[in-house]
Amino acid sequence: MAEGYRTLRVVPADPGVLSVVIDAPPMNLIGPELVRDLVGLFGVLESDQDIRVMVLESADPEYFIPHVDLTKVAEYTAEAAKAGGAGDASLGMLWHKLSELPVVTIAKLRGRARGAGSELALACDMRFAARENAILGQIEVGAGAAPGAGGVQHLARLLGRGRAMEAILGADDFDAETAERYGWVNRALPDADLDAFVARLARRIASFPADGVLTAKQVLNEVTMPASDAIRADAVRFRQLVAADAAQARTAALFAQGLQTRGPLELDLGDRIGAL
């Protein structure tokens, strides 16, 4: 199972439970290697009937996934296309595929999950966050774009209109307790309790009859999931906005301050975007 992955550590945990740890130094940016590995992983999860639950987390305590690698957009988009064809060449459609997998998916969040990293967590069936250190944010509007990988669709459904406006238009960082109160994550738990809580829930779900679990997931998806066309439209808008002069200028200013390097800017990106 783990063979062939460069940015993921993939190992069986409890019976029926697969542990997937994102390990893409220096800071888990979404680039072509990570997307290639996720495409491969999702293909396995589509067909392996022994896997009932997948738990996704990060090896980096400071970063779950901070955002995409803005220097490699064309490359990671080409890798994403391999999951669904050129017509669905976007992270949004790849994350949508994650939501529709015939396994239960749980994101375990420590550190920063911003932009498409937040959207990856939102595409999972459930999210649990470490109270002391998890940070979530949809930073795109602050950079001159708009969320393009499902963030608008999921946050509008989970948070409601007003709070989704605050999260997306404000482009600020949300701590785990606020994210829990708003509905961005299922629960914020003490860091020391997070692993045991998620492991118990994953074991519990994996022990139930598969047909009941997957049928219930499918019905819940039918009630709550955005349509594919809405995800595609968001991806188109993101690509248009991120190429515009305003976004290019703001992104260049962030790169000049240390974007995509470990340091103060990435740690406090919500505040730094607000100060541009």
Q: What is the dihedral of CA 262, 80, 105, 9, to 10 degrees?
A: -50
33, 57, 79, 140: the catalytic one is: 140
Closest CA to 108 of 14, 13, 188, 217: 188
| DSSP letters spanning 91-136 | HHHHHHHHHTSSSEEEEEE-SEEETHHHHHHHHSSEEEEETTT-EE
33 assigned to active site: no
Residues near 64 by beta carbon (within 8 Å), at least 6 away in sequence: 22, 28, 57, 58, 107, 109, 110, 111, 112, 113, 117, 121, 134
75 assigned to active site: no
Token readout for 57 is 């987390």
33, 57, 79, 119: the catalytic one is: 119
73-81 and 91-99 helices, crossing angle to 10°: 40
Active-site residue set: 119, 140
